[in-house]
Amino acid sequence: MLYNKLQDISEEEIDSLLNRGGELTEVKSQVEPILTDIRNRGDSALNFYTKKFDGAEIEQFEISPEEIENAFHKIDEKLIRNLKKAAENIRKFHFAQLPEKLWFIEIEPGVELGQKFSPLENVGAYVPGGRASYPSTALMTIIPAKVAGVKNVIMCTPPGADGTINPLTLAAAKIAGADHVYRVGGVQAIGAMAYGTETIKKVDKIVGPGNVYVTTAKMLVRDKAEIDFPAGPSEVLIIADESADARMVASDIVAQSEHDPQAVSVLITTSDILAKEVKDEVIRQSAAAKRHEIIDKSLENSAILITDTVQSCIEFSNRFAPEHLEIVVSDPESVLEGIENAGSIFVGSYAPVSAGDYASGTNHVLPTAGYAKIYSGLNINHFIKYLTIQKITKKGLENICDPIISIAEEEGLYSHADAVRLRFDH
């Protein structure tokens, strides 16, 4: 773990923190042939790559309603209640994001403009597997789509070597409202959703996080299916001052680190004392953690930085553009006001990233690797289109005919001008 004063860090070390997440181009040559094969051979290619990468022989990719229903009976009732509670909060938050269905404004007499939204018809939700199962991601990707009104939401998730899916993930898919669930993961799942196969219907948009291979695949299929944004290894940046609790801050660094060996955790603080205490606590907590091998590897990517002012913390955070940003200072509102780039923000000692990951209600599918500078986290707007409307009377067209005609003729589009003139010729 890098531990130093911000002003003493080399440009190379800063670049390593800012240009994190791995180059998608590094795996492009491996991903492209798989996508091409899926496009050409459909289910046959899906079987081949599922056997190759997951070790599973699949007879039926779609998971039956009976198998999903049976999953509920394998799960503790308390866990189901908690899953439903999390789903309820996620649903409430995303309902609050819904825009007005239809609105109009009179620009001038006789010219009334409006907007309505229309949901996408088919959406694919990718839910990772591999190192862990992620029922929470099923909730986060499917619920907003259904709240937006998407008619058909499918979910793809990698199978185990025995061809089964974690029962809790299946339960989450049902609670969230998935219309179809498929046991297929990785690049092959992205290709199947983008191009369609004999079994899996092509979708209009693909959402959900994944490793560098999945993310690269998403970027490569954008000519056939839109995506949410690149979402790779998880990360957190914590802005803290002397008021922060070192044990709590360290616990959030350790929690973030257990996601993936490539996960990144950064603490930037104005307190030398806090920095030292957090470093010691991270060492102690990581040694006792169940996933300590993953955590130890992840901590190699991480940093504790010390600076003189809170403003310097804010400026570095905006350059870093973290997926998750925690603000743990005595005056959080002043820091919040200066933040421009972040996927999701957590304010106060009792707002750990874990809350947003599971049950507070905000979405945990967020842009990583600095993409928070240009993308928003998953939200209702990812699942809807906006249609503009114009209601114009004869008097209204008279009021705007001069700018229409003069600008159209200046552009050399004389028939555009004539289309207005002829309406008044008679």
- Which residues does residue 205 pair with via DSSP β-bridges, in sequence order? 123, 226
> Which residue has tokens 């670049």?
15
> Which residue has tokens 């046959």?
44
Per-residue pLDDT of the chain (426 residues; tens, 9 = 90+): 999 999 999 999 999 999 886 667 789 999 999 999 999 999 999 999 999 999 999 999 999 999 999 998 899 999 999 999 999 999 999 999 999 999 999 999 999 999 999 999 999 999 998 656 799 999 999 999 999 999 999 999 999 999 999 999 999 999 999 999 999 999 999 999 999 999 999 999 999 998 889 999 999 999 999 999 988 789 999 999 999 999 999 999 999 999 889 899 999 999 999 999 999 999 999 999 999 999 999 999 999 999 999 999 999 999 999 999 999 999 999 999 999 999 999 999 999 999 999 999 999 999 999 999 999 999 999 999 999 999 999 999 999 999 999 999 999 999 999 999 999 986
3-state secondary structure of 167: helix
Distances (CA, A) of 123 to 132, 206, 306: 24, 6, 44
Amino acid identity, residue 166? N
Query: What's the alpha-carbon Rg for the chain, to the nearest Å?
Result: 25
3-state secondary structure of 408: helix
Domain 25-227: CATH class, spelled out: alpha beta
Q: Is 234 annotated as a binding residue?
A: yes
Residue 408 to residue 417: CA distance in whole angstroms: 6
* Contact status, residue 227 vs residue 235, Cβ threshold 8 Å: no
Instruction: Calculate helix-pair angle for 135-148, 77-97, nearest 10 degrees.
Output: 40
Q: What is the pTM of this model?
A: 0.93
The domain locations on the chain are 2-20+233-361, 25-227, 397-425
Distance, C-alpha 370 to centroid of its chain: 13
What DSSP element (H or E) covers 415?
A: helix 414-425
* Contact status, residue 273 vs residue 144, Cβ threshold 8 Å: no
Distances (CA, A) of 64 to 81, 175, 381: 23, 15, 30
* Contact status, residue 360 vs residue 372, Cβ threshold 8 Å: no
**CATH topology for 2-20+233-361?**
Rossmann fold (3.40.50)
Q: Is 292 annotated as a binding residue?
A: no
Residue 7 phi, psi (nearest 5): -70, -15
Which token pair is 289? Answer: 């953690």
Indicate which residues carry an active-site annotation: 323-324
Which token pair is 191? Answer: 């290709």
Q: Is 262 annotated as a binding residue?
A: no
Q: Is 411 annotated as a binding residue?
A: yes
